[in-house]
Structure 1
Amino acid sequence: MNSCSGRRPITMASLSSLPQTTISDILSRLPVKSLIRFKSVSKHWADLTSNPVFIATHLRRSSPDPNLLIRRYHSQSGSDHGIWLITDPTLNFGTQLLRAPMEESLVSFPKIVGSVDGLVCLDISPCYASDFVMWNPGTKHFKHLPLPLITSSRDNPIWMVFLGFGFDSFNNDYKLVRIVSFRGNDESPFLRVEVYSWREGVWKEIEERFELAQLCGGKDGMVVDGSLNWVAIGLQRFSDRKVVVSFDMGREVFKTVPLPPVTRSGNVVVVSYMGLLAVAVYPLIFAASGNHMNRFEFWVLSDCEDGMKRWANLVVVENFSKSLVPVGTWRDRELVFKYTGVRDREHQSSIFLFDPVDQRTRRLAIDCVDFCFESFSYVESLVPVNCTR
């Protein structure tokens, strides 16, 4: 007889006697890695963890505490690329180098278009943003998307391509938006727009266009409350300022949102802040005499009592360093800055978090000083790369 005493170990028999709702609740709180392993326990568990309701419940419980996904690259040599997952950024963080799908066969290292609900959209094309992969790093599944409809030709060459990836809550769909700019005969650009639907698995060209603005910069669209947003140069009545071009993913229509006048003399990054559209305005590295700013400003498009939306200035920092560049937000409430200056005692790391409410700055002990990088919020999920309708 075994003389050892203690709790009776939980066996499969005792676990299976629990109510199914209890089992589902327990499993929905576990990390993806464990759930992938548990799929082999029984067919019932495999079916349960593949159920859309369970996947949505697991995602909802994971979403409040996202990690940081960083694409790091060397801008001069073009070498030392990599995608890093940083867990617990402000605590005892861990870093993990992720292996991108088809990495060995790619001409250039993938660019991250966006990260939403555990799905990461990668641009794997050498030019014209014409080849894409849908990837779930948690499950390690990926899907090579069909080629876009809009292509470049000798008679009609592509000038620039702008991208955006986000979730359409109205149709329960993930969408990749591709805005293709061609140079017209009169040297003015004209646009064609197409959308890839995760639910349908196909591209479609849409007739909807936006007017009075010209997209600028290389930043992909930022997801804010069901819309994708790009910085643009205003035209005609908006010619005295920059604007945001916003694409409603549910209705698949564009609108133009004028930005505060201060954006004329500074760089602008569109971000999401507490579910609202926001812009970070920071100094130009090179600026013409008399047309520059030396401060950082943070503006949020807020709802007013009269039902209108207006820009509110949350933060102004005078004599702001040109070595600090905002690149996004983490947890939808802290700005992520990269440091582009020379390493010194004051700046031992190149990633900083800034809370606009209490204006507290936190430094992350991650060495990226000699590299360029882009940051994205990332949460592990079981969302499949193929729609399982």
Structure 2
Amino acid sequence: MMKSPNPSIEALPGNIMADVLSRLPVKTIIHCKCVCKNWRELVSDSYFVNLHISRLPAGVMIHENCHFEVKPGIMKWLEIKGEVDDTRLHHDFVTLFDLSLAPALQNSNICQVGSVNGLICLWKYASNHDNIYICNPITREYMILPRQQYHTEKSYAAIYYSFGVGLLTKEYKVIRIFQPSQAQNLEVYTLGTGQWRRVGHVPYLLNESYGPYVNGCAHWIFCGRDSPKELYAFDFDNETFSFFPSPPSEEIIGRQILGVINGCLSMGVTSDLKFTIWVMKEYGIRKSWHKEAVFKQSMDLLIGEPVTGLFGLEDGTIWLFFREAVCW
């Protein structure tokens, strides 16, 4: 049995202890869980998690997996180090979470569908069923959400997920949309409730499966049957979709993907001749969409595969993710 920490340390007020431990690196935090029950509860508390994350350097969670094998893969957190005229990704990972060590994830295909405040939402998908997991890669803990209701549907449905937290309620929620469907196809799971709720019908066709989380909302590109592509936002507080202003329509001709750059909603537009990145400088204000960068060639053609992810840092560095590559 592990011995308790020094009594004088244990006597410190909880907020002081949280402040001290939150300055430790991730690998040390993992070991702190094993010291005693009090420390384990402390580092698992949402206040501590948010405090610790606020003090960490910028990083990216990379999911390494072989697309030809039915395995969950490995999640690696790598830090991004910014220097004068040089931003690089550290090759030594900060922490590693081998998903195959989790019994519930073994012999399955896994993909990430969202990340908020250090928690990652994982989707375990298969031909006849799927499951959702909320994972804390720092503590290497995860929870399994109940099976969704759509399995009672007999018809085939494409499934889309997003993960976020309400700005007012502070409730963490997973939303899922299955299409096509004439019935209610929007379900919400609030962490801690133990059940999914069907809350409405989404009449629009989703253009991308990933809905980036910004300012309390998930964002998607929808394509109506008789209308051009438009942006819609799902508010995690009131659980409703609403129209969201997009860049000038004459400027967004081509394949589009949403991302987050320095905390702002962004959009990448790919055509045969160029790749353009737009950033919304003031959230929700149409006129604040700014053409951040233009590459005089198609990134899809340059890399040989389509862009699947987009995000940027405070220093102006923009990262593009592909299925088999990363560039910045």
Same-fold status (TM-score > 0.5): yes
Could you list the runs of 5+ residues in structure 1 that have no partner in the other structure?
1-10, 185-189, 284-292, 341-348, 354-389
Does residue 350 of the first structure (1) align with residue 325 of the second (2)? yes
Give yes or no for contact 2:49–2:118 (8 Å, CA) kept in 1: no
**CA distance in 2: counterparts of 1:125 and 1:203, whole angstroms:** 18
Which residue in 1 is equivalent to 2:236? 249
Q: 1:17/1:113 Cα in 2 relative to 1: closer, same or farther (>3 Å)?
A: closer
Equivalent residue in structure 2 for 1:329, among 299, 307, 311? 311
Equivalent residues of 2:252, 2:269 under 8 A apart: no
Task: Name the structure 2 match of 1:196.
Answer: 189
- Report the structure, 1 or 2, having the larger helix content: 2
1:170 and 2:168 correspond: yes
User: Alpha-carbon deviations, 1:313-368, whole Å to 9, x = none?
Assistant: 2222223342344422154764322468xxxxxxxx93211xxxxxxxxxxxxxxx
Identity of aligned residues (%): 24
- Measured on the aligned residues, the alpha-carbon RMSD in Å equals 3.3
Larger relative contact order (CA 8 Å, sep ≥ 6): 1
* Structure of higher CA gyration radius: 1
Secondary structure, counterpart of 1:230 in structure 2: strand
Question: Corresponding residue for 1:215?
Answer: 206
The equivalent residue for 2:92 is 94
**Whole-angstrom CA distance in 2 between matches of 1:234 and 1:206:** 21
Deviation sequence 1:55-79 (CA, Å, 0-9, x none): 44333333xx23222234455x457
Find the residue that maps to 1:265 and give its secondary structure: coil
| Residue correspondences, number | 308
Which region of structure 1 is more displaced relative to structure 2, 21-30 or 220-229? Answer: 21-30
CA shift, 1:295, in A, is 0.6
Task: Please say if residues 44 and 139 of structure 2, whose CA atoms lie closer than 8 Å, have aligned partners that are also in contact.
Answer: no
In structure 1, what is the Cα distance between the partners aligned to 2:233 and 2:239?
10
Q: For structure 2, which runs of at least 5 residues remain unmatched after alignment?
A: 81-87
Distance 2:325 2:137 in 1: 25
C-alpha spacing 1:27/1:303, structure 2 compared with 1 (3 Å): closer
Judged with a 3 Å threshold, the aligned counterparts in structure 2 of structure 1 residues 268 and 308 are, in CA distance, closer, same or farther, namely closer
TM-score between both structures, scaled by the size of structure 1: 0.68
Cα offset for 1:301? 2.7
Contact 1:173 1:197 in 2 (8 A): yes
Q: 1:269–1:191: structure 2 CA closer, same or farther, 3 Å change rule? A: farther
Give the letter for the 2:276 counterpart.
E
**Residue of structure 1 equivalent to 2:18:** 24
The 5 Å alignment of 1:238-387 reads 239=227, 241-257=228-244, 259=246, 260-262=248-250, 265-283=253-271, 293-303=272-282, 308-310=285-287, 311-321=289-299, 322-324=301-303, 325-326=306-307, 327-331=309-313, 334-338=317-321, 350-353=325-328
Instruction: Name the aligned partner's letter for residue 193 of structure 1.
Output: L
The two structures have a TM-score, normalised by structure 2, of: 0.79
